[in-house]
Amino acid sequence: MSRARRLSLAAVPAVLSALAFVWLHDRPRAVTFADVAPILARRCLGCHADQGVAARPSLRSYADVARFRAMIRSAVWTRRMPPWLADNSGVCGRWQDALWLPSDEVQTIVAWIDGGAQWADPRTAAIRTEPAPTLAHVDATLDTKAAFKPGLVDRAYRCFLVDPRLASDHLLTAVLVTSSDPRMVAQLNIFSLDSEAAEVAAARLDRAAGDAGYPCYASPLASPNRLVASWTWDSPLLRFPRRTGVRLARDRKLVVQIHYNVITSGLSASTQTRVDLEFDDLAPLDRWIETLDAFLLNYCFLGIRIVDAHNAVFFGARNT
């Protein structure tokens, strides 16, 4: 055997161990359920929970998620889930609080499922849910006062005349919506009534309706009015873009308009809704807004997303 050949044979174990080293250390770490669970908790469980708008499929435990893995893979890969029809890829800017999954999270979920949906650690078998969002401070509360039993057609939209009892003008920066049955409350708009005549008109409709609130579709049926907040059910909390406030006038009443959805609750259930308001009058605000309509158009603020097959709902999110 030549010397050169002896040398190269002697090098074989060293080369093999170097290869093994590279293989072990450069191989991507296997994705485990511990990587996937926090994504599901943050991005999915707001809706896919017992009291959520999509109790089925349940995504609350390893067993649930493993069982529905093929559906989940297809839903996140095609961006059907989370439901978000606006584009957050950057084409029209980026959106505050977008329900859009960042690409690395899509990859993590898909890699986990393609890798066999491995169980990693029994401690993550149940997904720990995120704490519910809250306001920094509650400065006023709008209460619809009575439970309402929603239905179809003219019982699907209801307006409630409410008095926030404001002694001075305020800038609204966030709203928190709480309902006794949150699954039924799909969308909520707040309108400011800007004259006594508008308040009288709304009060007349309210009295005539007999039941809690009065039927209304698209507008509060009393003008002049301004749209001051538009919320949908993907999160209890709607926070306006940073340094943005919508003016609420002192001594003026508001109308809370609710669009109900009875798909999960059925026609015999009722629900009562409360809206907590947060004001920020002191922070330096870049934008004082009178009405959301103009703002939506001016700032590419408006998107449409569909949270179920029957509802196209408008939402506000900041295009940053």
Which residue number, 71 or 146, has a Cβ lying nearer to ligand HEC?
71
Minimum CB distance to ligand HEC, residue 133 (Å): 14
* 3-state SS assignment for residue 107: helix
Residue 275 Cβ vs ligand HEC, minimum distance, rounded to whole Å: 19
Question: How far is residue 301's CA from residue 244's CA, in Å, rounded to a whole number?
Answer: 12
Q: What's the closest the beta carbon of residue 263 comes to ligand HEC, in angstroms?
A: 8
Whichever of 150 and 236 has its CB closer to ligand HEC, that residue is: 236
Q: Which amino acid is at 144?
A: T
Min separation Cβ 310 and ligand HEC, Å: 8
Residue 265 CA to residue 269 CA, distance in Å, equals 6
Give residues in contact with ligand HEC (CB under 6 A).
43-44, 46-48, 53-54, 57, 68, 71-72, 75-76, 80-83, 99, 101, 234, 307-309
Q: How far apart are CA 216 and CA 122, in angstroms?
A: 51
Closer to ligand HEC by Cβ: residue 10 or 309: 309
Scored b (16 or more CB within 10 A) or e, 52-78 reads bbbeeebbbebebbbebbeebbebbee
Residue with smaller CB distance to ligand HEC, 37 or 229: 37
C-beta of 82 vs 164, nearer to ligand HEC = 82
Contact 228, 291 (CB under 8 A): yes
Q: How far is the CB of 189 from ligand HEC (least distance, A)?
A: 18
Burial class (CB in 10 A: 0-12, 13-18, 19+), 36: buried
